[in-house]
Amino acid sequence: MNLPEEFDQYEYLSIAPGRVNILGEHIDYNGGSVLPAAIDRYVFLGANKRTDQMIKITALDLKDTITFRINNIEKKIDIHGNPLPDWALYPAGVFWAAKKQNLELSGFEGIFASSIPMGAGLSSSAAVEVAFAALMREFCSWDMDNMELAKMCQYAENQYIGVNCGLMDQFASANGIKNAFLFFNTTNLDWYPVEIPDTISIVITNSKIPRSLATSAYNDRRVSCEQALRKFQNKFPDIQNLCELSLSEFEEVQKSVDDTLQKRSKHVVEECARVNQAIDLLKDNQLNEFGNLMKASHNSLRDLYEVSTPELDDLVSIASGLQGCYGSRLTGAGFGGCIVSLVEKKAVSAFVSALASSYRAKTGKEIETYVCTASDGVTVQWCEKNSSK
């Protein structure tokens, strides 16, 4: 993306990517391993330090500017005493979380724009959090690695914004690696990159269905997992997470919870097993088998976790039948948003047009498609050319 000229007056540029999740959905808050990648769609944040304790931010895409005081962050109000608009809660939340950790904060003036579609399940909000956190780390020389940075952003999202998300999105935006999926164990936080075979492309398709009630439905799923875990701990007192249950242990205890909790926890236990199996398949370049696990994941999200929509189901079903598509599934929390497909590189352009036309023929609706590459995580640059302005 060519940055608009408004960015020319800022000395610092923080760039944080969005993410796509290839496999392991709704298990990052159940102790499972996940397989996301940072994508080449970004939040761009230009900023200059101020000497006072005021933060002034312009959201270029929304044409909105707010100013607030660092010492008023917990009140979620701007300098006029008005409630912060929703978008401003993300940067403010990050600074609030930093304050809780007794980290130094600096006033600044900044502007940001994004090439990540908003509300499409590609973690535009995590990227905003990570971009602002990395900027402040630079301004105040915090001694903090990217994992701690991601955890601080997650804390902000859980406690300040009220979405009880796991760590996957902030982790991927902070730690992305070019041309790699990230195998991330959310229990011990170990992770490593897995090179993406150069014969495949990541194709993301946006259903453009707004993710309505996503926050409450998401939090609700998380509560169900906690309830199921408490029941299963009667039989297996040592487990801390649903993902610690083997498939056979799950068989033993599943009847101790009601039908809904059974479905939710079955998805979680089986999805964990799928990721562990998938990683070996990927390393052996067994892409058809890997793709079959993506399809199984989608079916489970549709039937057991119940976070799909008819539009996502249609898209996955059409995509799965197209030439060169190894696997396809909804990506992210669900309830609308995007699907991700792994497609043989040489079949990509035919895949993209066939998916759009078949979907249009079936539903009368339009989609958007982004052919993405996996990218590096957040960076902050000092732009010398702007420093004299």
Annotated catalytic residues are 169
Of 6-14, 25-33, 313-321, 347-355, the segment contacting ligand GLA by CB under 6 A is 25-33
CB of 11 to ligand GLA, least distance (A): 32
Query: What would the x/- binding string for ligand GLA be over residues 300 to 339, using CB under 6 A?
Result: --------------------------------xx------
Q: Give φ, ψ of 157 to 5 degrees.
A: -65, -40
Instruction: Give the CA radius of gyration of the chain.
Output: 21
What residue type is assigned to position 107 of the chain?
G
Which residue stretch of 47-55, 160-168, 195-203, 294-302 sits at the interface with ligand GLA (rule: CB under 6 A)?
160-168
Spatial separation of the C-alpha atoms in residues 344 and 291, rounded to whole Å: 11
- Single residue of 10, 16, 28, 111 touching ligand GLA by CB under 6 A: 28
Cα gap 382→13, rounded to integer Å: 6
CB burial of 241-270 (b: ≥16 within 10 Å; e: otherwise) equals bbbbbeeeebeebbeebeeebbbbbbbbbb
Q: What mask of x and - would describe binding to ligand GLA in positions 40 to 79, judged by CB under 6 A?
A: ----------------------------------------
Report how far residue 21's alpha carbon sits from residue 122's, in angstroms, rounded to the nearest whole number.
8
Neighbours of 234 (CB within 10 A): 9
Which one of residues 13, 14, 26, 44 is an interface residue with ligand GLA (CB under 6 A)?
Answer: 26
- Quote the least distance from Cβ 386 to ligand GLA, whole Å: 33
Considering only the stretches 161-169, 173-181, 249-257, 340-348, report the one whose residues sit in contact with ligand GLA under the rule CB under 6 A.
161-169
SS (H, E, C) 46-115: EEEECCCCEEEEEEHHHCEEEEEEHHHHHHCECCCCCECCHHHHHHHHHHHHHHHCCCCCCCEEEEEEEC
C-alpha–C-alpha distance, residues 261 and 31, integer Å: 17
Size of site (CB under 6 A) for ligand GLA: 11
**Residue 168 sits in the site that holds ligand GLA (CB under 6 A):** yes
Please report whether residue 29 would count as binding ligand GLA according to CB under 6 A: yes
Least gap, CB of 306 to ligand GLA (angstroms): 13
Using the rule CB under 6 A, give the single segment among 164-172, 195-203, 355-363, 375-383 that binds ligand GLA.
Answer: 164-172
Nearest approach, Cβ of 90 to ligand GLA (angstroms)? 13
Question: By CB under 6 A, is residue 267 in contact with ligand GLA?
Answer: no
Q: Kindly tell me which of 215 and 292 has the beta carbon lying closer to ligand GLA.
A: 215
Backbone angles phi, psi at 39, to 5 degrees: -115, 165
Reduce the DSSP state of residue 127 to 3 states and report it: helix
Question: Rule CB under 6 A: which residues touch ligand GLA?
Answer: 21, 25-26, 28-29, 165-166, 168-169, 332-333
